[in-house]
Amino acid sequence: MTTKAATDQSKADVATPMRGADVLVRCLEREGVDVVFAYPGGASMEIHQALTRPSRIRTILPRHEQGCGFMAHGYARATGKPGVCMATSGPGATNLVTCIADAFMDSIPLVAITGQVFQHFIGKTAFQETDVFGITLPIVKHSYLVLRAEDLPRIVKEAFHLARTGRPGPVVIDIPKDVQQKVFEPQLDQEMELPGYEPAPQASDNELIEVLNLIQGCKRPVLYTGGGIVSGDADRELRAFADLTGIPVATTLMGLGGFPEDHPQSLRWFGMHGTVAGNWAVCESDLLIALGVRFDDRITGAIAKFAPDATVVHIDIDKSEHHKNKVVPYPVHSEIKYALQRLCKLAEEHGFEKPDLSEWNRKVYGWRDEYPFSYENSKHITSQEAIQVLYEETQGEAIVTTGVGQHQMWAAQFYRFHQPRSYISSLGLGTMGFGLPAALGAKIAHPDRTVIDVDGDGSFLMNVQELATAVRENIPVKILLLDNQHLGMVVQWEDILYEGVRAQTILCDPENIGSPDNEAGLYPDWVTICEGFGVKSRRVIRKDEIREAVREMLEFDGPYLLNVIVPYTEHVMPFIQAGSSAKEILIR
């Protein structure tokens, strides 16, 4: 039976003359796009005009193109669907470059649409002309410069298919103004032209049986799981495989939530600031099964010292990741969800016997109990304590976004994540200013969930203008702002590596550093800034205020910034210095 909605859509898709900009909007609707984060300009005005006409798409106006791009990130990371951002040519497009690079590093599905000058001006240094196609080539999954308006339906279909399938990533569509203005009869159901693109490789049974044989013969195995588990929607399959084998699981930061952190086999996350248990277990393993990971330097430290005695299996959807950072004897090119499903099935069919890991488990879980994430009690509120209170008051059910810095690591340490797409952070590129716009995008994606930006004062100031977007669009995000008036992570490195010499890392007057003991020196005045934006805010200094203040923030019906004054002397621990091994980890 044909529904009225389907009939109406069919009528709407009949080829009638349309402007290119309207064709673009129609194609976005056909891809299921419900929100576009877009900042207008001369070269993209036609598209914005098209978005004002009847459409199922909500358009969010940010206050800066980088905010626009990171809102799309928050939406994409919270849903798994491509986030869509749009900017004009020239500086509008170049302001999206960081967002595109960030999506490329973290394998985030993003479609970035940019306006471009008229085709006859391309290459002539016209006003606001920039070769965004060329600029972004190293940091995209694919790029399009649309030279024929008639190609728009095919290009949009391909762009979304590329962004969301295989290893997800960013795709750029650069559209000259004359293409947007051209009136033509679109053929909306064009076929894609992607020769050689194979987004879903599958491991052979022989490869997977070999993995099962390795597991049966090992004594010190670890599952090393990353962002591929989250982007591949393979968290259930991972849990089934972990239950089947009994192997301890250590995740990366990108993989947070892909395996429940309250599961008895969880070693939580490892790497530069990760758990002692996770780092030591990987270092001493005799079999390391790497699932959807890229052997990033923040995980491995000195690559020659990483899991030196382990036989390594690397299952990944992207063949280019095999042997890129770590040469392994067992590379398996496969979609991770399929590989885990098939491993469990083959284990059942071939009489898999779980190895006896009792001795190994006593050792690694003993480390977990002996060296949990911890912090020393202080007369002041510490960042760790504030995040711990936030976790308790939300019962671990919130979506947490972060900026970049110490607060980012503490959020991962003291807020436990039990489901995927709940920890949203810029991890590969490490972009400050990410937290607030990402929180806005995540909240739009999940209006019924609590979304909190855990941020630092240095990082937050980089995109503070998006407070205006939160108010104007009525997006009730919460901000837990941990304020130490310093660039905390760089200060930590200065303390450890440069004898505490401060090289442009103090954000306030060095002679009058604000602190819990010197409120007069606090800078900037976040309460006054929030008042100017129309955002509810509160500053807390005393320990006995923090829990009640967090509750007030969570219960407030609207955007809310809680400014928590914390000491700048705290360091994120544990810490593995660059070039060191897991065995050289600094615990305190």
Report, as residue numbers or ranges, the catalytic residues.
Answer: 65, 127-128, 177, 489
Query: What percentage of the chain's residues is helix, strand, coil (to nearest 5)?
Result: 40, 15, 40
Phi, psi of 176 (to 5 degrees): -60, 155
Query: How would you class 450 by CB atoms within 10 Å of its CB: exposed for 0-12, middle for 13-18, buried for 19 or more?
Result: middle
Specify the pairing of strand 287-291 against strand 221-225. parallel
CB-CB contact of 341 with 208 (8 Å)? no
- 3-state class (DSSP) for residue 148: coil
Question: Rounded distance, CA 516 to CA 251, Å?
Answer: 36
DSSP strands (E only) in 241-329? 249-251, 266-269, 287-291, 311-316
Instruction: For residue 404, list its beta bridge partners.
Output: none
* CA atoms 236, 242, 243, 245: torsion sign: positive
User: Which amino acid appears at position 375 of this protein?
Assistant: Y
CB-CB contact of 476 with 500 (8 Å)? no
Provide the 8-state DSSP code for 95. Answer: T
Specify the pairing of strand 249-251 against strand 266-269. parallel
Question: Rounded distance, CA 393 to CA 258, Å?
Answer: 22
Count CB-CB contacts under 10 A for residue 222. Answer: 27
Phi, psi of 119 (to 5 degrees): -55, -35
Whether the upstream peptide bond of residue 574 has omega within 30° of 0, thus cis, is: yes
Question: Rounded distance, CA 414 to CA 572, Å?
Answer: 11
Specify the pairing of strand 221-225 against strand 183-184. unpaired
User: Which amino acid appears at position 321 of this protein?
Assistant: E
- The H or E element spanning position 533 is helix 526-533
- 3-state class (DSSP) for residue 530: helix
Provide the edge-to-edge strand list for the sheet that holds 142-145: 58-60, 35-38, 83-87, 110-116, 170-176, 142-145
Give CA 54 to chain center in angstroms.
32
Please list, in sequence order, all residues whose beta carbon lies within 8 angstroms of the beta carbon of residue 581, skipping any fewer than 6 positions away: 283, 301, 302, 305, 306
Count CB-CB contacts under 10 A for residue 557. Answer: 7
Count CB-CB contacts under 10 A for residue 127. Answer: 10
Question: Rounded distance, CA 95 to CA 44, Å?
Answer: 15
Helices (H), 430-558: 435-445, 457-460, 466-472, 488-497, 526-533, 546-555
